[in-house]
Chains A and B, each alone.
Chain A
């Protein structure tokens, strides 16, 4: 009698599956254009405003544009889970561009390419370009980091050198914050020492953080972590402690609001200080990142999606994004705006970006090993020499 059971199972399976094949066909209601946009939680409001103005500017068609919350950091992960069901237009940081292009998820931008490349800063366009092909629309140029400090503790002069900052903090029993166990920040020492990390011709990561310069950088990180005024943690630790027991810290423009709120009139920001690497005082470098707007290669409405992406990243909307979200524009004209130039955090970032290194050649394999090294330094785990640790780190990065 088991057969009846089998029959039932098979029938139910078949019917349910056969019946459901249809759900794949999306119905096109004449002229309605369906688009989905992904952006970070905080950007939803400003994106909605842009979408509304986009609809107004294109009255000849009916648009049905929906917003989804997917922050830049998750964009790649979310998109590749199921590209067909993902957004048509989405925001992502430039270090995801290689992986996205390799996975075939980004639409190559050819429409109005000239205008896009001429309107935005060279570096931001470069961040969106691979082998002369443009794959995304530059939206902001603020995905980098610099130093915030408490003017009442650290003087402008002291803020110029890491030693000065640390000494000033120590004197008043305060701390200097830097998330060294995060590859993004830890890299600033290695980059300053003259090490390089980039994409090799075979598509693998090339990294020389374990050469002699790298070891000097590693020693500098070790010394920083061993300093009594040093404190580590994530952004939440920084925003929680700044103005209290933290007097200076390395972070990005996204914490500007929180830091400003805490420091009040003592709010100040500057480029990263110089640090003693080897025997020399060297300016710390940083990754200079960009937020880009990409078009999904699986989109059903490529032209409309490109129109919208271009709209979102035009001068006006970059300024709007600055006003609402304090985002640094990548658009040349918008970047020259008076308001933008007066912004303390963005000013510091712009200064730092002169010592910025593009992060678009960084693959995802880079982060964990550097984090592991940083963690060992923070834990003052010296069971292996710096050289050994860095060798091991580089081996993992390049594997």
Chain B
């Protein structure tokens, strides 16, 4: 839906630029070349200066930095590292070759900056023509001061959003594009800087995941299945058991409510990775829990909590419950105390028992309020790197999979592919897959959820 609206907008913008050139006078047309010239000619110096400065800054950027990366962007570098023997020193002198990673990254950056520059340029062209028209009609040309003043109220969203946009563009969007592009290269162990170059290979990596290489695609499908299962299990076990715990403590006849809650909340204090590393120690074949079990005579040999394929999966879900239930209990307790009393009243008058009240009133209300929380949890669990990496390391490793273990999620597999195997291209493809799955799922759920539809309800 956004696309269909976007395309004409871009076209309209382009059309305006063309019109501006066709109908523009000399100053307007010259402003296409020297940005901001119209400002100086038509006495709105400050706006002209801003445009001119942008142009100078862009040109300077291209000369000093961007140009050299942009030129090499299509090949990702051609110059390999070289060495020449220096008789006098008795050593080789290495000449640095191109660095494909830097070319890919800064080339992308330069492309983005260039696109931004063209948007500014187009706005410059339109403004030039507008000022021409205004001047002809004898109207007032908007000044920079007025534009800045509008940031306080009419264009307040620009004020609020520019800095976050800048940060997010630099540290999330640009790296994201970089990663997507990496999936189209042969950046792997054999093509690493500083000694080697990598280059574009089209869709090769995608075909190898989707069936070109049996083992990799099999691993991908199986891990995807486990990732989804894990996300569902971990999200709902936490939610349901958190709810049961909250309901138990909330029961009218139970005493020391605050104390009970404190006990569970106190576990939040310990950083997650500490808990996880401790748990992995405790659950190890030689760890505390196995020692205890053997001392109590419950088992003869250590139980493979982390090494048996099925048991390891159960273990990660249970440990995740240990970590997550205090949070969900805390939240659900909060909601329980906030359900409007009159809703209960009405139900009781209708003669509904406690179970019916729970399913008719408590549960729907709770789901309504916590949908956004559940979505974040679900997505977070799909990408729940820490718990798997620190607890089982993805293990037990299996020969069925391509360098992955039974509890590996797609993200941990991805991480191993980059860190241990340097298969950056393969990892990028996995990353894109994870990203698409989570993005599509969350967009659908979020836009249908109560939170999005109720947005205008108080308006």
Are chains A and B touching in the complex at the 8 Å CB cutoff? yes
Q: Given the interface contacts A103-B193, A297-B94, does A12 sit within 8 Å of B166 by beta carbon?
A: yes
In the complex, the chain A residue whose C-beta lies closest to that of B94 is A297
Please choose the segment from B22-30, B301-309, B377-385 that sits at the chain A interface, where 4 or more of its residues have CB less than 8 A away: B301-309
- Complex CA gap A119/B84 in Å reads 27
Are the CB atoms of A369 and B399 closer together than 8 Å? yes
Q: Which residues in B have their C-beta under 8 angstroms from that of A7?
A: 50-51, 54, 120, 123
For chain A, the count of residues having a C-beta within 8 Å of the partner chain is: 62
Dominant SS at the B interface?
A: mixed
B368 CB within 8 Å of chain A: no
Per-residue interface assignment for chain A, residues 377 to 399, with 1 indicating a CB less than 8 Å from any chain B CB and 0 otherwise: 01101000000010011001001
B237 CB within 8 Å of chain A: no
B40 CB within 8 Å of chain A: no
Dominant SS at the A interface?
A: helix
Are the CB atoms of B92 and A396 closer together than 8 Å? no
- Complex CA gap A203/B83 in Å reads 22
A373 CB within 8 Å of chain B: yes
B53 CB within 8 Å of chain A: yes
Are the CB atoms of B419 and A103 closer together than 8 Å? no
A22 CB to closest chain B CB (Å) equals 9
- Complex CA gap A21/B66 in Å reads 10
Among B57, B80, B401, max chain A CB count under 10 A is at B57
In the complex, the chain B residue whose C-beta lies closest to that of A108 is B92
Per-residue interface assignment for chain B, residues 159 to 200, with 1 indicating a CB less than 8 Å from any chain A CB and 0 otherwise: 001100110011000000000000000000110111110000
Are the CB atoms of B396 and A375 closer together than 8 Å? yes
Q: Which residues in B have their C-beta under 8 angstroms from that of A102?
A: 189-190, 192, 195-196
Q: Given the interface contacts A9-B166, A375-B398, does A302 sit within 8 Å of B93 by beta carbon?
A: yes
Query: Interface extent on B, as a size class?
Result: 35 or more
Are the CB atoms of B119 and A6 closer together than 8 Å? yes
In the complex, the chain B residue whose C-beta lies closest to that of A365 is B421
Q: Which residues in A have their C-beta under 8 angstroms from that of B85?
A: 110
Selected contact of A21 from candidates B51, B64, B81, B395, CB within 8 Å:
B64
Q: Given the interface contacts A375-B398, A389-B399, does A11 sit within 8 Å of B57 by beta carbon?
A: yes
A338 CB to closest chain B CB (Å) equals 36
- Complex CA gap A144/B246 in Å reads 55
Selected contact of A11 from candidates B50, B285, B301, CB within 8 Å:
B50
Are the CB atoms of A10 and B286 closer together than 8 Å? no
In the complex, the chain B residue whose C-beta lies closest to that of A241 is B286
A355 CB to closest chain B CB (Å) equals 27
B403 CB within 8 Å of chain A: yes
B155 CB within 8 Å of chain A: yes
Q: Which residues in A have their C-beta under 8 angstroms from that of B194?
A: 83-84, 103-105, 297-298
Q: Which residues in B have their C-beta under 8 angstroms from that of A373?
A: 399
Q: Which residues in A have their C-beta under 8 angstroms from that of B119?
A: 3, 6, 10
Binding site for A on B (CB under 8 A): 50-51, 53-54, 57-58, 60-61, 64-65, 80-81, 83, 85, 89-94, 96-97, 99, 109, 113, 116-117, 119-120, 123-124, 126-127, 147, 150-151, 154-155, 158, 161-162, 165-166, 169-170, 189-190, 192-196, 215, 284-286, 301, 304, 307-309, 395-403, 405, 419-422
Instruction: Using A13-B113, A365-B421 as known contacts, list a sample of 6 further A-B pairs with CB atoms less than 8 Å apart, ordered by residue number in A.
Output: A4-B155, A14-B113, A99-B189, A110-B90, A298-B96, A379-B304
Ranked 5 nearest A-B pairs via Cβ: A104-B195, A3-B123, A14-B57, A372-B397, A392-B399
